[in-house]
Amino acid sequence: MLSDRPSTRIFKPVASEPMTVLVADDDVLAAKVLEKTLRKWGFGVVRAKNGEEAWEQIERRGLRLAILDWMMPKMDGVQLCRKVRRKKRATYTYIILLTARDYFDDIIRGLSAGADDYMTKPVNLLELKARLQTGLRILGLEDKLLVSRQEIKDLAAHDSLTGLWNRSSILEFLEDELDKSRRERSSIGVIMIDVDHFKRINDTFGHAVGDQVLTRIANCLKVNIRRYNKIGRYGGDEMVVVLPDCQSSHLEKIAERLRVSVARQRFKTERGILKVTISCGGATSESFHHITLRQLLQASDKALYEAKAKGRNLVVMFKPGRAKKRTKSV
Amino acid sequence: MNKQVSSPSPLDKRAALRAAGGDPAFLDELIVLYLKDATKGIARAGSLARAGRFKDLEKEAHRLKGASLTLSLPILAETFADLEAAARDRNPQAAAQLSKRLSAELGALRRFWTAPAKP
């Protein structure tokens, strides 16, 4: 499912708020010392008395920094490390394992199980601080990587000229919403939009002006649809609006609103102010028993074709058997 | 195994204070917590030894050894380490002896900590 949310919301970046550290130790005393020290250093702290509790905390809170004692009831630190690493998560949990000084062989086992670092008990607090800094540095790098990945994903999903969703993204959204509408027995609407005489604009004023017109129209349409509706560039000067949970009569009103909003605009371009109109073809899934994505697009395209054929600057709604025309002049 | 009960100063106060982040009130809180926890732990260790539950005894001794190290109580930490080893060796006699010794050590610590400061 596509999302308009900014990428940073998928995780809590290291720098955005005090990092919460999980301290998992059945030794209450050591846990208390760690908690007090960590709080003094500005961390938030969550404590767990055993491995299972620690796992629950990591799961529930999505904790990214954990100090785990090796020996704990119910699940030891190494088992917990393995469990954390096995689970595919959106973000990484940096784990420091605590072990007794005379259990040196454990270190190899601990690191092999997925711990990032280890410390021997009793914990030297200055050393802990330095090791936590290392952890934060690594988590900070992960944050940057996640942001970049999301930015790349966003770029790949949008049309570079208009900023609208690109063809594959809008079709993916439509497919998802169609599935949802089948499950929920609701109706989904599609408006196919075409810029009237766009070829003439390109031929008369050049492609740069054509691009400017397309961008201005895209912006005009974007502000005239609601957040839960989506608009994408279908190809050339064709755009498609997907409206989840939308009945035919409502779809027609929205299409009309879009048509009028464009017709009323005066588009400022490098070759002066232009007046441009659009034609709209609308279709909803309610007219069909079990409609496919292709059928819905074809239906709206057919209605659009009819709008074009009947003189442009029109909204035509698809009706099985015929297309219903609705004309308004501005 | 046959060590004497520690000297009148069973606690390295400077190291313990350092472990408590230099906060005497917090150190006091930690010592009180330790005394309570270790008293219960030693009693539990005795029962575990008598019941022959050496694996659980080893874990309990290990935990209390860690707590003792955290508070810079070297003799108690060492004695708990001995108890851990005795549990690993499945030696009930040694475990019983060490439990007694630990009770004495703990008593010494309690007296030391609760004694009024000398003028």
User: How high is the pLDDT of residue A330?
Assistant: 38
Which segment of A54-58, A73-77, A97-101, A137-141 scores lowest on mean pLDDT? A97-101
Q: Are residues A201 and A53 in the same domain?
A: no
User: How high is the pLDDT of residue A53?
Assistant: 94
Q: Are residues A294 and A145 in the same domain?
A: no
Confidence of residue A104 (pLDDT cuts 50, 70, 90): low
Residue A61 lies in a domain: yes
Of A27, A40, A125, the CB nearest to B67: A27
Burial A33-58 (b: 16+ CB within 10 A, else e): bbbbbbeeeebebbbbbbbbbbbebb
Residue A161 lies in a domain: no
Contact B19 A122 (CB under 8 A): yes
A245 is catalytic: no
Which segment of A4-13, B58-67, B103-112 scores lowest on mean pLDDT? A4-13
Contact A121 B19 (CB under 8 A): no
Q: Are residues A61 and A129 in the same domain?
A: yes
* Residue of A69, A117, A237, A301 marked active site: A237
Residue A251 lies in a domain: yes
| Average pLDDT estimate for B104-108 | 90
| Phi-psi label, residue B35: left if phi above 0, alpha if psi -120 to 50, beta otherwise | alpha
Q: Are residues A76 and A25 in the same domain?
A: yes
Q: Which of A154, A182, A217 is the last residue of a domain?
A: A154
Contact A30 B70 (CB under 8 A): yes
Q: Which of A121, A154, A187 is the last residue of a domain?
A: A154
Q: Are residues A216 and A182 in the same domain?
A: yes
Question: How many CB atoms sit inside 10 A of residue A291's CB?
Answer: 21
- The residue with tokens 């100063």 is B9
Residue A121 lies in a domain: yes
Q: Does the pLDDT of residue A294 top 50, yes or no? A: yes
Contact B71 A37 (CB under 8 A): no
Residues of A in contact with B22 (CB under 8 A): none
Name the CATH topology of B22-114.
Four Helix Bundle (Hemerythrin (Met), subunit A) (1.20.120)
Q: Does the pLDDT of residue B3 top 50, yes or no? A: no
Q: Six-digit token pair at A307?
A: 């709008």
User: How high is the pLDDT of residue A13?
Assistant: 53
Residue A160 lies in a domain: no
CB-based contact, B70 to chain A, within 8 Å: yes
Q: Which of A125, A154, A183 is the last residue of a domain?
A: A154
Q: Are residues A24 and A73 in the same domain?
A: yes
Q: Six-digit token pair at A31?
A: 């846990």
Beta bridge mates, A95: A66
How many Å lie between the alpha carbon of B103 and the closest alpha carbon of chain A?
19
Contact A122 B59 (CB under 8 A): no
User: How high is the pLDDT of residue A106?
Assistant: 75
Q: Are residues A321 and A192 in the same domain?
A: yes
DSSP character at residue B116:
P
Confidence of residue B9 (pLDDT cuts 50, 70, 90): low
Residue A192 lies in a domain: yes
- What is the rounded distance in angstroms from the CA atom of residue A47 to the CA atom of residue A58? 11
CATH number at residue A289: 3.30.70.270
Q: Are residues A215 and A172 in the same domain?
A: yes
Q: CA angle at residue B106 from B104 to B107, to 5 degrees?
A: 65
Of A29, A40, A71, the CB nearest to B34: A29
User: How high is the pLDDT of residue B19?
Assistant: 81
User: How high is the pLDDT of residue A55?
Assistant: 94
Q: Are residues A17 and A97 in the same domain?
A: yes
Q: Does the pLDDT of residue A43 top 60, yes or no? A: yes
Which segment of A89-93, B33-37, B97-101 scores lowest on mean pLDDT? A89-93
| Average pLDDT estimate for B101-113 | 89
Query: Please, what sign has the CA dihedral across residues A222, A224, A226, A232?
Result: negative
The domain of A58 spans 7-154
Q: Where are the domains of chain B?
A: 22-114
Q: Are residues A105 and A232 in the same domain?
A: no
User: Is the ipTM value over 0.95, yes or no?
Assistant: no
Q: CA angle at residue A174 from A168 to A180, to 5 degrees?
A: 140
CATH number at residue A99: 3.40.50.2300
pLDDT, tens digit, for every residue of B47-103? 998 898 999 999 899 889 988 988 888 889 999 999 999 999 999 889 989 999 999
Q: Are residues A117 and A218 in the same domain?
A: no
Q: Over chain B, what is the mean pLDDT?
A: 85
Count how many domains chain A has. Answer: 2
pLDDT, tens digit, for every residue of A145-201? 989 988 898 889 999 999 999 999 999 999 999 999 888 888 999 999 999 999 999
Cβ-Cβ contacts under 8 Å between A and B: the total is 53
- Interface with chain B: mutation pick from A23, A29, A67, highest number of B CBs within 10 Å: A29
Q: Does the pLDDT of residue B40 top 80, yes or no? A: yes
Residue A2 lies in a domain: no
Q: Does the pLDDT of residue A270 top 70, yes or no? A: yes
Instruction: Enter the pTM of the model.
Output: 0.65
Q: Does the pLDDT of residue A137 top 50, yes or no? A: yes
Which segment of A214-228, B6-20, B48-62 scores lowest on mean pLDDT? B6-20
CB-based contact, B37 to chain A, within 8 Å: yes
| Average pLDDT estimate for A294-323 | 89
Residues of A in contact with B70 (CB under 8 A): 27, 29-30, 33, 121-123
Contact A32 B63 (CB under 8 A): no
User: How high is the pLDDT of residue A284?
Assistant: 92
Residues of B in contact with A29 (CB under 8 A): 30, 33-34, 37, 67, 70-71
Confidence of residue A222 (pLDDT cuts 50, 70, 90): very high
Q: Are residues A142 and A61 in the same domain?
A: yes
